[in-house]
Amino acid sequence: QEPDAATGEIDKEHIVIVYLSRTGNTEAVADIIHQEVGGEMVELKLETPYPEDYDAIVAQVDRENERGYLPPLETEITNIEEYDTLFIGFPTWDMQLPPPMKSFLSEYDLSGKTLIPFNTNGGYGLGSSIQQVEELCPECNILDAFSIKGGLERDGIYLAIKGERRDQVHAEVTDWLQSIEIQ
Ligand SMILES: Cc1cc2nc3c(=O)[nH]c(=O)nc-3n(C[C@H](O)[C@H](O)[C@H](O)COP(=O)(O)O)c2cc1C
């Protein structure tokens, strides 16, 4: 969507924040964005949830990525045409975009819309996730991503974006929103 000519702002009524989160870190960032910009919040859920066991989910995601398998989503957005700005939030999994976010971007025609990626990871960054977003939506206007360290389930660190750390992340989100001219 073009910024409003008069105010230079993106129309906040047409924002949706679509996110995937297993241990709550990406959800915490989604909540912060929502506090700042409003819009609808939509959590991506699978028809068949991933296993709770960490080693089991790692093995499954690895297999899905190798085969290009797109797990069916339980989440449905019936009014996607009403949104022109989509924040898309995901953890880094297998140094990639998680399969459910690949499913989401494949399922909907988002051509011409503005996509704003945000991410949490275990300390190894975004990997190839942004390139994959670009490949899955070549006709999207993709803004600079926000990426920050969240938990590291492998080492037993689940929700890390809480308390003081959450305040710190909130300040970083605010700076980022200003840098991409959302606020
Ligand atoms: C299946 C799986 C694979 C992961 N792979 C990576 C990875 O490749 N690199 C990384 O930095 N963190 C990896 N992580 C850690 C998560 O990105 C990190 O804990 C993130 O903050 C989790 O977000 P969430 O709390 O919203 O689920 C992985 C976590 C899971 C469950």
Query: In a structure prediction context, what are the per-residue pLDDT tens digits for the chain, which is 183 residues long?
Result: 455 555 556 677 799 999 999 999 999 999 999 999 999 999 999 999 999 999 999 999 999 999 999 999 999 999 999 999 999 999 999 999 999 999 999 999 999 999 999 999 999 999 999 999 999 999 999 999 999 999 999 999 999 999 999 999 999 999 999 999 998
Q: Is the CB of 152 under 6 A from ligand 1?
A: yes
Measured from the CB, is residue 182 less than 6 Å from ligand 1? no
Task: Say what the pTM is.
Answer: 0.95
Burial code (b: 16+ CB inside 10 Å, e: under 16) for 149-176 equals bbbbbeeeeebbbeeebbeebbeebeeb
65 lines ligand 1 (CB under 6 A): no
The pLDDT, as a whole number, for residue 1 is 47
Ligand 1 site-directed mutation target among 17, 19, 21, 22, most atoms within 8 Å of CB: 22
Q: Which CATH class is domain 12-179?
A: alpha beta
What is residue 183's predicted lDDT score, i.e. its pLDDT? 81
Query: Nearest 5°: CA angle at 115, between 148 and 149?
Result: 5
- Contacts (Cβ under 8 Å, ≥6 apart) of 76: none
95 lines ligand 1 (CB under 6 A): yes
Cα–Cα distance for residue pair 146/119, rounded to 1 Å: 6
Q: Are strands 141-142 and 146-149 parallel, antiparallel or unpaired?
A: unpaired
CA 12 to chain centre: 18
The pLDDT value recorded for residue 157 is 97
Residue 6: predicted pLDDT:
52
- Report CA(17)–ligand 1 centroid distance (Å): 19
Alpha-carbon distance values, 46 to 72, 74, 101, 104, 159 (Å): 6, 5, 10, 10, 21
Task: Report residue 21: phi and psi, to 5°.
Answer: -155, 130
Q: Whose CA is nearest to atom 27 of ligand 1?
A: 22
Asked if the ipTM is above 0.95, the reply is yes
